[in-house]
Amino acid sequence: MPAYKDEKSKKWYVSFYVKENGISKKVKKMGFNKKQEAMEYERNYINSFVSDTEITFENLYKSYMDDQKNRLKPSTLESKTYIFNKKILPFFQKYKIKEITPLLIRKWQNELIKENFAQTYLRAIHEQLVAILNYAVKFYNLNKNPCSAAGRIGKKNAGEMNIWTLEEFKQFIKAINHKKEAVVGFNILFYTGMRVGEMLALTISDIDFEKCKIRINKTFQRIKRTDVISTPKTPKSKRTIDCPKFVIDIIQDYIKVLYKPTSKTRLFEGFTKSKFQNDVNVYSRKANLKKIRVHDLRHSHATFLLSKGVNIVSLSRRLGHERVSTTLDIYSHVLKEDDDLIKDILNNL
């Protein structure tokens, strides 16, 4: 959908064709101050002119993203845009939405499965297609979502997850001990279970040094080379959690070497998730440990607490999950070990 600029008037215009009763009709509209306004006119004209289900998936996507862009956080919007541009649009863009059948969706699914993506990533991609076709059902008179008959791919949770035990984590810290900011960051992640973005957003004022607590009220992400601080993932992600005193002491010592820190100074200014992940990759190898994701330190923390008898409700609150059921879904494999314990207890009555 290109737009053009009139050299005399310096205004933008669009020129395109639509079909009316099987006959092509040229439409030209001039006088737009901005290129985006001209393109939006063309898109809206086409969307209203054709039968709703005659719209192509590509045009549906443009309408859908226009609707979503003011409703989503920048980080979520970027992730959604990436998945569509790389994994969904190349396959579906030229089809009319009425032509998208369960069989066609299964063909697309099979192409994705061949790529050997993680099961959770496959599910994330599939859910984006479900969402846009639900949008088509609601606003473009699509009779029903063909994804329902096609079935899902991937898994909501990964099942077996890579974690480090307390001993393995200490081994890792020993290998990376010469990098002060890394030692601080990894200790926070392992001993609090907070998300990486939550840690990267921490300011000095978020640390209660006397009560050994940390307030989590924002999250950090770098989007297109810009640092973005936003609200946490869910309402219950805003929380205050206990932190071991020795970790608080490590943070306090670290602050002393920062340049002119104030209460608003971020602890990890200039650092990103990828920087910490790179450290994990390099120093886990040097420590002869299995490689994990930075996010797996959160799982390591949760698994450690469950093994020590912490109840699932308290853990869910500490992790900032919106629902206890989320915590149960993620850590059900750990809780199954309790079933074996119960069995042993009952058999020994």
Architecture of the domain spanning 166-341: Orthogonal Bundle (1.10)
Give Dmax (Cα) for the chain.
94
How high is the pLDDT of residue 228? Answer: 87
**Tens of pLDDT along 18-48?**
765 556 678 889 999 999 998 888 888 776 6
**Tens of pLDDT along 183-217?**
999 999 999 999 999 999 999 999 999 999 999 99
Domain 51-156 fold: DNA polymerase; domain 1 (1.10.150)
Average pLDDT of the segment spanning 247-252: 97
Average pLDDT of the segment spanning 143-153: 94
346 or 119, which is more confident: 119
223 or 320, which is more confident: 320
Q: Which of 5-19, 54-68, 121-135, 278-292 has the lowest mean pLDDT?
A: 5-19
How high is the pLDDT of residue 43? Answer: 81
How high is the pLDDT of residue 128? Answer: 96
Average pLDDT of the segment spanning 271-281: 94
Q: Is 15 buried (19+), middle (13-18) or exposed (0-12) by CB count in 10 A?
A: middle
The reply to whether domains 51-156 and 166-341 share a CATH topology is: no
Q: Sorting pLDDT into bands at 50, 70 and 90, what band is 171?
A: very high
Euclidean distance between CA atoms 85 and 91, whole angstroms: 10
Q: What's the pTM?
A: 0.67
How high is the pLDDT of residue 42? Answer: 86
How high is the pLDDT of residue 2? Answer: 80
Average pLDDT of the segment spanning 318-347: 75
Among the listed residues 106, 99, 22, the one whose alpha carbon sits nearest the alpha carbon of residue 57: 99
Euclidean distance between CA atoms 162 and 333, whole angstroms: 12
**Tens of pLDDT along 252-262?**
999 999 989 99
Average pLDDT of the segment spanning 287-310: 93
How high is the pLDDT of residue 141? Answer: 80
Chain-centroid distance, C-alpha 338: 31
- The winner for highest mean pLDDT among 42-56, 143-157, 165-179 is 165-179
Give the HSE-up count for residue 260: Cα atoms under 13 Å, Cβ half-sphere: 0
Q: What percent of the chain lies above the pLDDT cut of 90?
A: 60
> Would you list the domain boundaries of the chain?
1-49, 51-156, 166-341
Q: Sorting pLDDT into bands at 50, 70 and 90, what band is 267?
A: very high
How high is the pLDDT of residue 106? Answer: 97
Instruction: Kindly tell me the number of DSSP H helices and DSSP E strands found in the chain.
Output: 16, 8
How high is the pLDDT of residue 300? Answer: 95
Contact yes or no for 95/57 (Cβ under 8 A) = yes
